């Protein structure tokens, strides 16, 4: 029998979800079966699979140690070099600057050098995270950026903060996200764009449509022109929904593609910027996060804004286009 004491980084989650993280190699059906057959108890009592764990609870696993060990996947710290900058950090959250070209999460082609793995290594080196001490918790991001988009990514450093951040992201007007971009054409007035985004999984491209579709997701984008010169506009974009390629596809759909965007942009324009500035990716930077409303232990962030400067290569283009 093994006993697990629930601490602050494990509380306020369903027992079945906790156990799926604790014994990640075990199937969900196995977890349900063990709970139902009373091989898993809380405080020596039978509980349902949706029981919400509290700090101080003790989970009893009436399983052999070999069985438990066979279900636990060892967590290793990836030896990756830090490439991100730090916008803000306290005991609960970390706001980092993701450089262009770095994935936020692992994918089928890259399982080592990601932003999240770099953050985990950074916190491990600071003795603020230790996988051998934590039962299930791992620091994680609550927003994501495309590989070739730079800017601010929000990290939860403990379970309570991560849960509150995720809930704040889900709610409208709690966390506001702003981007800077340069688009083709002249934009004069602030405008709200609405529509539906349909994703093609095979091509990893999206299409913007006007009417509802069973496979499409509703999107809402607001743009505010900052400066215009010649055939280009410097624009601040606010994301009210955060869908794949939303800004790139939405602005392209109204005839104002981002410079450098190989998927949704203008080929001739992109070639010109590549030759002149060596720009090989979209000009898009997540430059501002505003915490309008906050929950729980993050109330102290309410009303605060955090900024990230344009990377040097993008700043150089901005100065050249808008003298």
Which residues are the active-site residues?
Answer: 146
Question: CA distances (Å), 63 to each of 13, 69, 122, 133, 151, in order?
Answer: 22, 10, 36, 21, 46
First to last CA, the chain: 71
Distance of CA 164 to the CA centre of its chain: 14
User: Alpha-carbon Rg of the chain, whole angstroms?
Assistant: 23
Structure tokens at 321: 């286009």
Structure tokens at 20: 């799926």
Burial label for 15, CB within 10 Å (0-12, 13-18, 19+), is buried
Task: Give the whole-angstrom CA distance, residue 235 versus residue 35.
Answer: 54
Residue 191 neighbours by CB under 8 Å, 6+ apart: 222, 223
Task: Give the whole-angstrom CA distance, residue 80 versus residue 111.
Answer: 11
Structure tokens at 239: 């994301």
Residue 303 neighbours by CB under 8 Å, 6+ apart: 291, 292
CB atoms within 10 A of CB 188: 8
CB of 208 closer than 8 Å to CB of 249: yes
DSSP secondary structure string for all residues of 80-105: -----EEEEE-SSEEEEEEPTT--SS
Question: CA distances (Å), 211 to each of 27, 216, 218, 219, 242, in order?
Answer: 40, 9, 9, 11, 19
Q: Helix H segments across 39-195?
A: 65-71, 115-125, 159-170
């Amino acid at each position: 029998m093994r006993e697990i004491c629930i601490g602050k980084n494990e509380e306020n989650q369903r027992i079945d979800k906790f156990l799926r993280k604790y014994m990640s190699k075990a199937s969900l059906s196995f977890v349900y079966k063990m709970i139902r057959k009373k091989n898993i108890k809380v405080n020596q009592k039978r509980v349902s699979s949706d029981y919400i764990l509290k700090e101080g609870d003790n989970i009893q696993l009436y399983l052999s140690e070999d069985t438990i060990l066979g279900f636990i996947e060892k967590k290793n710290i990836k030896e990756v070099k830090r490439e991100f900058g730090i916008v803000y950090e306290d005991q609960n959250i970390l706001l980092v600057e993701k450089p262009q070209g770095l994935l936020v999460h692992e994918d089928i082609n890259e399982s080592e050098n990601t932003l999240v793995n770099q953050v985990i290594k950074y916190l491990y080196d600071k003795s603020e995270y230790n996988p051998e001490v934590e039962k299930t918790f791992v620091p994680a991001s609550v927003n994501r950026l495309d590989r070739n988009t730079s800017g601010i990514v929000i990290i939860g450093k403990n379970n309570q903060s991560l849960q509150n951040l995720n809930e704040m992201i889900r709610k409208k007007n709690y966390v506001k996200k702003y981007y800077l971009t340069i688009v083709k054409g002249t934009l004069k007035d602030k405008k709200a764009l609405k529509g539906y985004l349909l994703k093609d999984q095979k091509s990893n491209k999206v299409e913007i449509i006007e009417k509802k579709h069973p496979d499409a997701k509703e999107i809402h984008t607001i743009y505010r022109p900052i400066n215009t010169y010649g055939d280009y506009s410097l624009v601040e974009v606010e994301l009210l929904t955060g869908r794949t390629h939303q800004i790139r596809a939405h602005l392209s759909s109204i005839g104002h593609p981002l410079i450098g965007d190989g998927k949704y942009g203008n080929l001739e324009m992109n070639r010109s910027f590549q030759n002149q500035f060596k720009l090989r990716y979209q000009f898009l930077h997540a430059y501002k996060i505003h915490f309008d409303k906050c929950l729980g232990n993050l109330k102290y962030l309410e009303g605060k804004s955090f900024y990230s400067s344009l990377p040097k290569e993008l700043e150089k283009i901005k100065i050249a286009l808008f003298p």
